[in-house]
């Protein structure tokens, strides 16, 4: 995870506060409470707007951002962190200015609901309350994912209103030269991101056409879907994921990410799906051969080839998908350059899939060892247990994919055992 990007974003947000102290310090000494509240509220508002802008840019789903910032799942985490942190500053911004009004003998609530004031305050107020509504809906998870996704698009409207509010009050930042430049630059970038995400991405972005040609029900909850690509081939790297949309009357048209468990030389694409939520439940029950699909991607930087010669792979449930793709590739290429220990964790025996295939792969390449962990029988796997089994524990490169709770627990355990953060790689699909 490229945390430098997140720290840089937070540093940018601090610039209005830092610049405000240096530019306005002499006037602060006059002890004009009204002026001090105005300056503080404006600086905090600018900081929140910077984080809000960066959050909008990070949500744009532009492929090149993966090379600059990190994999898409982590970019979305940054989008979330920046949105929530910026939201805190945005919430404080009008409250401080409303208190200034109250200090001067005016109505506190009248400032927050300025229906009789100038347009600049009206724009800011509408953006403010719309932002708070969407933020609460996101944090409290009030609506199902498909409905939340529609509501969340309102953030673009909130941002455009906030931008209009900024334009109408930008004279307030005449002392803040650096801040003003950053605000204009990020506003331009955010508006481009909104255009890309809300107009170009859904209506003009070319997607790969495909058709479901085979469905293997591996258990009462898990299935493997085979898709034939229509037209030119779909180029991807084993372990990457893509967004899929299936066109069938009793399925919603929302897109969902699934890891490609096929290897890159196979004729058809394969994805692994488990009945976990509303969408995947309907998909498991209703998907049929011949269903048309759109594919957008591939995404992800999860790549064992960038790791060292000794690796430990940990899969939880359907998190086995990227490792299955890697194992298939290693088997085809007869890759004996790496020593790999794969820990495949599943809750119940019925959730264990690909047993025979993994045994066949191990017969072909002995340097890939597979250990099956049924948590209902043996309990949850721990880092200490892995340390006892795998050789040269701290000299390994670690790759994880599974439930968020699993990866979070292992992160803490590995670090407590001396594993460096740069040697731990994971994907988090629960965020999408």
User: For 289-325, what is each residue's pLDDT tens digit?
Assistant: 999 999 998 998 889 988 889 999 999 989 999 999 9
Q: What is the mean pLDDT of residues 267-272?
A: 93
Residue 175: the pLDDT is 64
pLDDT on residue 117: 63
Provide, rounded to the nearest whole percent, the portion of the chain with pLDDT above 70: 91
Partnered with residue 292 across adjacent β-strands are 211, 247
Q: How far is CA 333 from the centre of its chain?
A: 32
Q: Quickly state the pLDDT bin for 387 (edges 50, 70, 90).
A: very high
Rounded to 10 degrees, what is the CA torsion of 163, 164, 165, 166? 50
Provide mean pLDDT across the span 394-404. Answer: 91
Decide if pLDDT at 257 tops 70: yes
Q: For residue 240, what pLDDT band results from cuts at 50, 70 and 90?
A: very high
pLDDT in the model for residue 388: 92
List pLDDT tens digits, range 328-342: 999 998 888 899 999
Which of 352 and 256 is assigned the larger pLDDT? Answer: 256
Residue 30 has pLDDT above 60, yes or no: no
Going from the N-terminus, what domains does the chain have, and what CATH number goes with each? 3-203 (1.20.120.1770), 208-299 (2.40.30.10), 304-431 (3.40.50.80)
User: Based on the number of CB atoms within 10 Å of its own CB, is 245 exposed (0-12), middle (13-18) or buried (19 or more)?
Assistant: middle
Arithmetic mean of pLDDT, 126-135? 91
Query: Within 10 Å of residue 376's Cβ, how many Cβ atoms?
Result: 11
Q: Walk across the sheet containing 397-401 and list its strands.
A: 368-374, 339-346, 310-316, 397-401, 424-427
Q: Is residue 16 pLDDT above 80, yes or no?
A: no
Angle between helices 33-58 and 3-28 (to 10 degrees): 160
The pLDDT of residue 113: 79
Rg (CA), the chain: 26
Mean pLDDT of the chain: 86
| 27: pLDDT strictly greater than 60 | no
Kindly report, residue by residue over 194-225, the tens digit of the pLDDT. 999 889 888 888 889 999 999 999 988 899 99
């Amino acid at each position: 995870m490229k945390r430098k990007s997140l720290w840089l974003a937070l540093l940018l947000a601090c610039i209005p506060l830092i610049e405000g102290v240096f530019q306005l310090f002499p006037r602060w000494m006059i002890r004009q409470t009204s002026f001090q509240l105005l300056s503080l509220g404006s600086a905090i508002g600018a900081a929140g707007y910077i984080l809000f802008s960066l959050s909008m840019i990070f949500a744009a789903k532009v492929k090149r951002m993966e090379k600059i910032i990190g994999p898409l799942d982590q970019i979305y985490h940054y989008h979330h962190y920046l949105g929530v942190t910026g939201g805190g500053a945005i919430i404080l911004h009008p409250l401080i200015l409303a208190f200034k009004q109250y200090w001067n003998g005016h109505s506190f609530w009248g400032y927050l609901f300025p229906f009789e004031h100038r347009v600049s305050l009206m724009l800011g107020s509408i953006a403010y309350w719309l932002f708070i509504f969407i933020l609460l809906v996101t944090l409290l998870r009030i609506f199902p994912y498909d409905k939340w996704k529609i509501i969340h698009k309102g953030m673009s409207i909130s941002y455009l209103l906030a931008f209009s509010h900024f334009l109408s009050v930008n004279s307030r930042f005449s002392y803040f030269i650096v801040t003003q430049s950053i605000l204009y630059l990020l506003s331009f970038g955010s508006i481009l991101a909104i255009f890309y995400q809300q107009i170009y991405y859904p209506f003009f972005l070319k997607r790969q056409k495909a058709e479901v040609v085979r469905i293997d029900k591996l258990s009462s909850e898990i299935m493997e879907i085979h898709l034939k690509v229509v037209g030119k081939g779909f180029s991807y790297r084993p372990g990457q994921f893509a967004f899929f949309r299936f066109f069938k009357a009793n399925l919603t048209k929302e897109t969902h990410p699934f890891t490609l468990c096929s290897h890159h030389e196979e004729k058809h694409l394969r994805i692994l799906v488990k009945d976990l939520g509303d969408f995947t439940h309907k998909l498991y029950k209703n998907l049929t051969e011949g269903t048309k699909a759109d594919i957008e991607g591939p995404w992800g930087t999860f790549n064992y080839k960038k790791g060292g010669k000794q690796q430990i792979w940990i899969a939880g449930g359907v998190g086995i998908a990227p490792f299955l793709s890697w194992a298939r590739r290693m088997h085809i290429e007869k890759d004996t350059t790496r020593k790999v220990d794969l820990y495949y964790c599943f809750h119940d025996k019925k959730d264990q899939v690909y047993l025979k295939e993994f045994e066949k792969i191990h017969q072909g390449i002995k340097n890939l060892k597979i250990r099956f962990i049924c948590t209902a029988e043996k309990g949850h796997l721990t880092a200490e247990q892995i340390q006892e089994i795998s050789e040269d524990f701290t000299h390994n490169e670690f790759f994880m994919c599974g439930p968020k709770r699993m990866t979070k627990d292992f992160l803490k355990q590995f670090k407590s055992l001396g594993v460096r953060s740069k040697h731990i790689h994971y994907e988090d699909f629960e965020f999408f």
